[in-house]
């Protein structure tokens, strides 16, 4: 996270409003970054904030980010091939987790397996892959398909995304399509859903953008 931004900004006598104007990042987004509500802000936003303050991103990066303690991180390289986390453990919908079948991310423990990073994700140091479970995203994605995700991108309307929820000691991700975005909520749907569902951002750990898929047979 980047909660050190608050202290750095205060030490420089810069208000959130002034930083928002200088960086072209909304004040609400800056506030969420400082509070740790936005765990993986886009690299573009971080660069604009750093340039506005005349510092580097590392100057307001929390220690756990600097040491790479994040589950979303390319973690192995063999020759020229880079491998990324591949989350395949299934979380079944139940009375305590009613959002649908999803995949499990075990915080601080990395992924149980890995997959070769596709060429279209070469630019991202935090890309990961996950298995699509359930039938919610059919016919776009079948059960068992591998979806590739870039946490550094900001979602836009029409994007397929991962909605991440904190559940017990884990993060659970489900795939949905964005139909509306606001500072405090997001509206999502499945390909066959007529009425989108609203999720308040405060109830979400994060939202990550799906950038590709691979059809698999189960």
Cα separation values, 10 from 33, 63, 123, Å: 14, 19, 33
Beta strand residue intervals within 97-139, DSSP E: 102-105, 113-116, 128-131
In the block, tokens 């939202």 appear at 207
Average pLDDT over residues 35-47: 76
**Residue with more model confidence, 15 or 69:** 15
The answer to the question of residue 71 being in a domain is no
Q: What is the mean pLDDT of the chain?
A: 82
Q: What is the pLDDT of residues 118-169, one digit of tens each?
A: 888 887 888 899 999 988 899 999 999 999 999 888 899 999 999 998 877 7
Q: Which domain holds residue 203?
A: 76-214
Given a cut of 60, whether residue 81 has pLDDT beyond it is no
Cα 212 versus chain centre, distance: 15
One domain, residues 201 and 162: yes
pLDDT at 126: 84
* Four-point Cα dihedral 130, 136, 137, 138, nearest 10: 120
Q: What is the pLDDT of residues 49-67, one digit of tens each?
A: 988 888 888 788 876 544 4
Give the pLDDT of residue 102: 84
The DSSP call for residue 101 is: S
Are 190 and 175 in contact, with CB atoms under 8 Å apart?
A: no
CATH of residue 38's domain is 1.10.260.40
Do 161 and 178 touch, CB atoms closer than 8 A? yes
Of 12, 38, 66, which closes a domain? 66
Instruction: Give tens-digit pLDDT for 198-214.
Output: 999 988 888 999 999 99
Number of domains in the chain: 2
Calculate mean pLDDT across residues 83-106: 78
């Amino acid at each position: 996270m980047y909660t050190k931004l608050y202290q750095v900004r205060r030490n420089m006598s810069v208000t959130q409003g002034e930083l928002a104007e200088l960086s072209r990042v909304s004040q609400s987004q800056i506030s969420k970054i400082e509070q740790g509500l936005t765990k993986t802000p886009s690299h573009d936003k971080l660069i604009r904030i750093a340039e506005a303050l005349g510092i580097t991103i590392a100057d307001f990066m929390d220690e756990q980010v600097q040491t790479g303690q994040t589950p979303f991180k390319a973690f192995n390289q063999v020759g020229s091939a880079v491998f990324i986390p591949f989350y395949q453990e299934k979380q079944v919908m139940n009375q305590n987790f009613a959002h649908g079948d999803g995949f499990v991310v075990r915080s601080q423990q990395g992924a149980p397996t890995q997959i070769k990073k596709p060429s279209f994700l070469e630019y991202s140091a935090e890309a990961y892959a996950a298995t699509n479970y359930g039938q919610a995203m059919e016919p776009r994605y079948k059960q068992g398909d591998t979806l590739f995700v870039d946490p550094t991108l900001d979602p836009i309307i029409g994007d397929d995304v991962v909605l991440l929820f904190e559940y017990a000691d884990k993060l659970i991700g489900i795939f949905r399509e964005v139909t509306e975005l606001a500072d405090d909520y997001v509206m999502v749907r499945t390909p066959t859903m007529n009425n989108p569902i609203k999720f308040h951002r405060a109830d979400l750990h994060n939202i990550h953008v799906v950038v590709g898929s691979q059809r698999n047979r189960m």
